[in-house]
Amino acid sequence: MSLSLLLVQILNGLQLGVILFLIAAGLTLVFGVMDFVNLAHGVQYMLGAYLAVMFYGLTDNFALALILALASALVLGLLLEFAVFRHLYDRDHLDQVIATLGVILFVNQGVKFLWGAAPLSLPIPEILSGSVVLMPGLLYPVWRLVIILAGLAVAALLFVLVTYTRVGMLVRAGATNAPMVSALGVNIRRLFMVVFGFGTMLAGFAGVMVAPILSVEPGMGDSILILAFVVIVIGGIGSIRGAFLGALLIGLVDTLGRSFSVDLLRLFLDPSSARTVGPALASMLIYLLMAVVLFMRPAGLFPAKGR
Partner 1 sequence: MVALPAPAVQPRLRWSAEGIVPLVIFAAFAALPLAAAFGAKAYILALFSRIMIFAIAAIALDLLIGYGGLISFGHAAFVGLGAYAVGILSAHGISDGLIALPVALVASALFGLATGAVCLRTRGVYFIMITLAFSQMVFFTASSLAPYGGDDGLTVQSRNTIAGFALMRDEQSFYYVVLGFLVASYLLCRALIGSRFGRVFRGARENAARVASMGYDVFRYQLVAYVIAGSFGGVSGFLLANATEFVSPAYMSWQRSGELVIMVLMGGLGTLYGAILGAAAFVLAEEWLSGLTEHWKMIFGPLLILIVLFARGGLVGAAGRLSRAKP
Residue 137's region, left for phi above 0, alpha for psi from -120 to 50, else beta, is left
**Binding to partner 1 by residue 273, rule CB under 8 A?**
no
User: CB atoms < 10 A from the CB of 271, how many?
Assistant: 10
- For 266-270, the CB contacts below 8 A with 24+ separation are none
**Binding to partner 1 by residue 300, rule CB under 8 A?**
yes
| Stretch in the footprint of partner 1 (CB under 8 A) among 12-20, 160-168, 241-249, 282-290 | 282-290
Q: Which is nearer to partner 1, 9 or 28 (CB)?
A: 28
The HSE-up count of residue 120 (CA atoms within 13 Å, CB side) is 26
**Binding to partner 1 by residue 294, rule CB under 8 A?**
yes
**Binding to partner 1 by residue 295, rule CB under 8 A?**
yes
For the window 205-224, what string marks contact with partner 1 as x by the rule CB under 8 A? Answer: -----------------xx-
Q: Virtual CA dihedral for 145, 147, 149, 155, nearest 10 degrees?
A: -150
- For the CB of residue 38, give the shortest distance to partner 1 in the complex, in Å: 11
**Binding to partner 1 by residue 31, rule CB under 8 A?**
yes
Contact status, residue 243 vs residue 25, Cβ threshold 8 Å: yes
Q: Give the Cα-Cα-Cα angle 83, 89, 92 (nearest 5 degrees).
A: 120
For the window 221-250, what string marks contact with partner 1 as x by the rule CB under 8 A? Answer: -xx--x--xx-xx---x-------------
Q: Give the Cα-Cα-Cα angle 18, 22, 26 (nearest 5 degrees).
A: 150
Which has the closest alpha carbon to 145: 124, 123, 161, 121?
Answer: 124
**Binding to partner 1 by residue 291, rule CB under 8 A?**
yes
- For the CB of residue 299, give the shortest distance to partner 1 in the complex, in Å: 7
Q: Which of residues 70-109 bind partner 1 (CB under 8 A)?
A: 84, 87-88, 91-95, 97-99, 101-109
Considering only 139, 156, 157, 284, the residue that binds partner 1 (CB under 8 A) is 284
Question: How many positions of this chain bind partner 1 (CB under 8 A)?
Answer: 49
The span from the CA of 192 to the CA of 197, in Å, is 8
**Binding to partner 1 by residue 116, rule CB under 8 A?**
no
Name 132's bridge partners.
140
Residues near partner 1 (CB under 8 A) are 31, 35, 37, 84, 87-88, 91-95, 97-99, 101-110, 112-113, 222-223, 226, 229-230, 232-233, 237, 276, 279-280, 282-284, 287-288, 290-291, 294-295, 298-300
